[in-house]
Amino acid sequence: MSRRLRLDRNDPTGKRRLVFVDSRHTRIHDVICGGMYRACSTWQYEVVGHLIERHLRGERLGYLTGEAYAARFAPFFRREVHADVERRSWRVLKSHEGHRCFARVLSSGQALAVYAYRDIRDVVFSLMHKRSLAFEDLLRQGMIHQILVNDRFWRAQPRVLIQRYEELVADPVTAVVQLARHLGLGVTRREAAEIADDFSLESNQTRIEALRRRLENAGIDLTAPGNLRICDPVTLLHWNHLRPGGTGSWQTDSRFSQRVLLDRLCGTWLRANGYTSEPEAAALAGKAGYASGVGLRDDLALAVGRLASLLRRVARHCPRTARRVRQLLGMADSDPEPVFPWTSDVTPAGWDLLHATRVRAGNEPEILAPRPVS
């Protein structure tokens, strides 16, 4: 690695650290955290955000769809001219869905990406908990199909660091070192351990509880479906981000029919990524009570999910057409991943926080703001 030694004066503790910086990364200024849903993608965003803020004078852009990034942040869409390249700030954003503008900045060397993956069966049941959705609803929305589409997109891109969820959980210090090296930073394992501790499960649980208390004190109804995705504007942690149970909890949470569908839809992917499904498949095949009528119903459910996933992609280019097709088929609208950063810690006089209204701040993400009392 072609490196230069730099004295870092931005350490919040007041310490001065020597950091090796890869000089070949001088052109790269954007980092896309595009990890799989519920697979430590937010943890990756936290760590990368911390690293670029401390060592690269960077900033966090929050959650952005590909369309929002292309419209306002992608380098090839910028009109402003930077006379001093060294003053250009590194930036990190989080997203999930693939987009051609992401592929373009990665292939041109103007961005890096990090991706995390997990047993899709665990992802599915974690999403069900977080979004308060039934398995059948998640399938009909096309989310399970979309997870596979997203996985193919990010793995096909250059300059992507791919990390496995189970390894992130088992050895977060090594994962931090890998992320730092991907950014061209040669941090020590001691610093990596400090960062891993700052964003450990316990530390993030404390942040989540603090956010929950702020929302409850503000009078926000956390049982309302529209408030399930409120998050902290800096860390992007949601108030319901973590749940009991860990790796493999899908085995006790799932029904037989759900396991059949997941094996049909994700079995090839699971085996290719080291998640053995052969014993499960054999058990399913030997289940004598699985009637042909149920199989036909499953075929229909998979077809609806596949169509919904296709319409999600069509909506990026032809939103009106996709919306019209959904209406004709009686399908509900599907939002890729609306994120509502909560920025208010105080209750302004004259504001009714019990009836919050979502207002768009010009681009994704949307902001959950209170509505004034008339």
Average pLDDT over the chain, rounded to an integer: 77
Average pLDDT over residues 247-255: 86
Q: Which residue has the higher pLDDT, 209 or 335?
A: 209
Per-residue confidence (pLDDT) for residue 330, from 0 to 100: 54
What is residue 253's predicted lDDT score, i.e. its pLDDT? 87
Whether the per-residue pLDDT at 244 is higher than 60: the answer is: yes
Give the rounded percent of residues in the chain with a pLDDT score beyond 90. Answer: 44
Decide if pLDDT at 14 tops 50. yes
Question: 254-287, pLDDT tens digit by residue?
Answer: 898 899 889 989 999 999 999 987 555 545 555 5
Contact partners, residue 264, CB within 8 Å, separation at least 6:
298, 302
Quick check: 86 pLDDT over 50? Answer: no
pLDDT of residue 194: 97
What CATH fold (topology level) applies to the domain 3-119+149-207? Rossmann fold (3.40.50)
**Which one has a higher pLDDT value, 138 or 248?**
138
Whole-model pTM: value is: 0.78
